[in-house]
Amino acid sequence: MSDHRLPLLLEPAELRQHIGSDQVLIVDLSNAQVHQQYHVPGAVHLDYGHIIKNQPPIVGLVPEATELAAMFTALGLRPDSQVVAYDEEGGGKAARFLWTLDVTGHPHGSLLNGGLQAWLNSDNPITNQSRGITPGDYTVRPHEQALADQEYVRSHLGRADLAIVDARSPAEYQGQDLRTRRGGHIPGAVNIEWTRVLDHRRNMRLKSEDELRQLFETAGVIADKQIVTYCQSHHRSALIYFVLKYLGYPRVKGYPGSWSDWGNSPDTPIET
């Protein structure tokens, strides 16, 4: 396994071959009640609230490095662990966890395509037994290439080589669904609601590579640009971040805090 890394996007049949491997750490970000009923054998549960930090009115920030290190250690994460993440909702929570691994320097993370729904509907084994965890001693090494903050976005607005993707609903994007002090969107952002990357006919798997490329390229989100993804908190937009990374886009950043940060700031430029 040390010479063979798992692909970024993993099908249920591929994951099934690695159940029981001590180098593969399967992380379930489904609701706790769902995990207690059934989960992929060997999966450890991680509550989504543990991978975000809220400072109202701003939500979805990155926890401190010491907190993340303690959480990763408790999960049994090791520097060489192949992480496979999934959830029950289409991949937003799992993708946010994988993005968190990116910004903390862990290079080996994969998304289970279709998550729990695809796993259950592919006649795969399930269990309600908890996995024993051997805590490690994990050191977080901040790797901010995948992270954008308000200052970064402000300083890059208007640049021809920047594309901003707003993963919220059209109503939020247009300022009709108001969830912050101010409504609208970051100037120049294109609206690609996060669920548009999912194929609901295939158990919430991602759409085909060709469909995904067309979706983004038609919106002007092309691979030679610096991409920033955001939503309300960088939950939904984490899946967009993951998809662009999966498609091979070399420069993609996620904006933690997202619109809860931008829309609650008194002087940020806004379009509606």
For the chain, domains (ranges, CATH) are 9-144 (3.40.250.10), 147-262 (3.40.250.10)
The pLDDT value recorded for residue 249 is: 98
Predicted confidence band at 4 (pLDDT cuts at 50, 70, 90)? Answer: low
Model confidence, pTM: 0.96
Based on the residue annotation, tell me whether 231 is a catalytic residue of this protein.
yes
What number is the average pLDDT over the span 55-82?
Answer: 95
209-248 burial: b if 16+ Cβ within 10 Å, else e: eeebbeebeeeebebebbbbbbbbbbbbbbbbbbbbbbbe
The catalytically annotated residue of 43, 212, 231, 244 is 231
Strands 58-61 and 53-55: antiparallel
- Give percent above pLDDT 70 in the chain: 99
**How confident is residue 142, by pLDDT bands cut at 50, 70 and 90?**
confident
Structure-token match 């989100």, residue found:
221
Residue pLDDT, tens place only, 89-120? 999 999 999 999 999 999 899 999 999 999 99
SS (H, E, C) the chain: CCCCCCCCEECHHHHHCCCCCCCEEEEECCCHHHHHHCECCCCEECCHHHHCEEECCEEEECCCHHHHHHHHHHHCCCCCCEEEEECCCCCHHHHHHHHHHHHCCCCCEEEECCHHHHHHCCCCCCECCCCCCCCCCCCCCCCHHHECCHHHHHHHCCCCCEEEEECCCHHHHCCCCCCCCCCCECCCCEECCHHHHEEHHHCCEECCHHHHHHHHHHCCCCCCCEEEEECCCCCHHHHHHHHHHHCCCCCEEECCCHHHHHCCCCCCCCEC
| Segment 221-241 mean pLDDT | 98
Q: Residue 3 pLDDT more than 60? A: no
